[in-house]
Amino acid sequence: MQQTVVVKIGSSSLTSDEGGLNRDKLGFFASELSKLQHQGFQVLLVTSGAVAAGFREMGYVSRPKNVHEQQAAASVGQALLMQAYHVAFAAHQVGVAQILLTRYDFSNRRRIHNASMTIEELLKHRIVPIINENDTVAVDELKELKFGDNDKLSALVANLVRACRLVILTDTDGLYTEDPRKNANAKRIDRVTEIDEEMYRIAGGSGSSVGTGGMRSKIEAARIAMRGGVPVFVGRVAEDGDLDLAVRGTGKGTYFDTSEHNLPMKKQWLGFHSLPQGRITVDQGAETALVVGGRSLLPAGIQEVSGDFHPGDVVEVVNSDQQIIGRGVVNYSTWQLQAVAGLSSEEVQKRIEVQRIEVIHRDEWITLTAGKQINE
Ligand SMILES: Nc1ncnc2c1ncn2[C@@H]1O[C@H](COP(=O)(O)OP(=O)(O)O)[C@@H](O)[C@H]1O
Ligand SMILES: N[C@@H](CCC(=O)OP(=O)(O)O)C(=O)O
């Protein structure tokens, strides 16, 4: 079977702080990606840079902060971006296609299935799908409905196509013990096997005025991809052949290894694509049963319920310290659960009629605590 590589290129690698595309850099990346394809890899590109490429044409002096200005700049820049990629890849006899996705598309199983089928068809024809967030329609006010930066989008795409590696290219050669722009003595971390809280602490925000996510969002992307069984490289590609080295394991950057196996599609959807409709707080006993014991959630372990959900919806589960421990498909509605929270299963059955006694069945649950996942 052919191996698939997903490469994400950030705004900082394609444009300058003053805005506008750097066609030399873009041409270089197209050449590196084409080489990978010629070697037999299936290649997908997740690209940022629409806002950065378009804001100058709109007459703005710097990257706009206002949402509608950003959306307008993105719609100008996206066309410029695709035009430039089309020309740059054509020089290597490689065809390209544009795919614009939103967070909402991932949360809807039919839409993401359609996107996945389209991608498969393009790859079969050796066309490189070039993916960006659909900035014009992405809703910024509702943070959970917008990716913002493309790091997380690239991780979701890598999991979707079951990539053999996700390569996140940026303007620094990997994750350092501190932002290297702020501390020249910071040391690069070459290999990461587990993402813990310390990792989030050292990863700062964006260092340039065109990038948005910084290293923090790359760590979050790496966590999602690792959960999906996809190893990740975060770093820089500056010279001929660098991308090949990055894919093969000897690039200039940080490698995030994973011992996880590909998560089943259903669990991926639950953990990373679905949009929770409510929140359930559980006690210590229920937390252990879910996270360590691999058991279902029963009404007895529930302390608090909020949101507006119905049987079949996805809810987020938090422990008594309000830390997220996972997500699952709920078998109760909000009012039903509020009426029986904390009660024994026997008592619940006397009071209300439910299809299944489990609030969340173990097969419809995913643990999302940082570190090693015990229960799949
Ligand atoms: N611990 C860290 N190690 C490396 N880079 C870091 C760290 N913390 C913050 N950064 C910053 O993250 C930036 C890359 O992210 P970003 O600007 O969002 O790039 P992109 O546009 O490629 O997504 C780097 O330029 C760097 O200044
Ligand atoms: N979709 C946006 C991405 C915004 C952005 O700056 O992302 P990134 O450079 O990946 O931190 C664009 O194309 O401008």
Q: How far is the CA of 66 from the centre of ligand 2 (A)?
A: 15
Out of 55-59, 135-139, 330-334, least confident range: 135-139
- How large is the greatest C-alpha to C-alpha distance in the chain, in angstroms? 72
State residue 21 phi and psi, 5-degree precision: -80, 145
Residue type, 362: R
Ligand 1 contacts CB of residue 176 (under 6 A): yes
Reported as a pLDDT band with limits 50, 70 and 90, residue 28 is very high
Q: How far is the CA of 191 from the centre of ligand 2 (A)?
A: 26
Binding-site residues from annotation for ATP:
8, 170-171, 212-218
Flag whether pLDDT at 238 surpasses 90. Answer: yes
Q: Whose CA is nearest to atom 4 of ligand 2?
A: 149
CB atoms within 10 A of CB 150: 27
Beta bridge partners of 6: 44, 166
Mutating to test ligand 1, I would choose from 8, 173, 179 the residue with most ligand atoms within 8 A of its C-beta, which is 179
pLDDT given for residue 209 in this prediction: 65
Question: Model ipTM?
Answer: 0.95
Q: How far is the CA of 241 from the centre of ligand 2 (A)?
A: 25
Distance between CA 220 and CA 363 in Å, rounded?
25
| Nearest alpha-carbon partner for 69 in 82, 50, 83 | 50
pLDDT in tens, 182-206: 899 999 999 999 898 888 888 877 7
CB atoms within 10 A of CB 83: 11
Mutating to test ligand 2, I would choose from 75, 98, 150, 167 the residue with most ligand atoms within 8 A of its C-beta, which is 150
Set out the domains of the chain in order of their start, with CATH numbers.
Answer: 4-266 (3.40.1160.10), 276-367 (2.30.130.10)
Distance between CA 208 and CA 268 in Å, rounded?
32
Contact present, 341 and 305 (Cβ < 8 Å):
yes
Query: What are the structure tokens assigned to 5, written together?
Result: 């590589």
The larger pLDDT score, comparing residue 267 to residue 87, is at 87
Contact present, 150 and 59 (Cβ < 8 Å):
no
Q: Whose CA is nearest to atom 7 of ligand 2?
A: 149
pLDDT given for residue 264 in this prediction: 84
Flag whether pLDDT at 369 surpasses 80. Answer: no
- Mean pLDDT (whole number) for 331-342: 96
Question: pTM for the whole thing?
Answer: 0.86
pLDDT in tens, 77-114: 999 999 999 999 999 999 999 999 998 898 888 899 99
Residue type, 166: L
Flag whether pLDDT at 144 surpasses 80. Answer: no
pLDDT given for residue 211 in this prediction: 63
pLDDT given for residue 371 in this prediction: 39
pLDDT in tens, 32-67: 999 999 999 999 999 999 999 999 999 999 888 888
The number of the ligand nearest the C-alpha atom of 174 reads 1
Residues with Cβ within 8 Å of residue 300, at least 6 apart in sequence: 286, 342, 343, 344, 345
Q: How far is the CA of 268 from the centre of ligand 1 (A)?
A: 27
Q: How far is the CA of 218 from the centre of ligand 2 (A)?
A: 12
Q: Share the mean pLDDT of the chain.
A: 91
Distance between CA 318 and CA 296 in Å, rounded?
15
Reported as a pLDDT band with limits 50, 70 and 90, residue 311 is very high
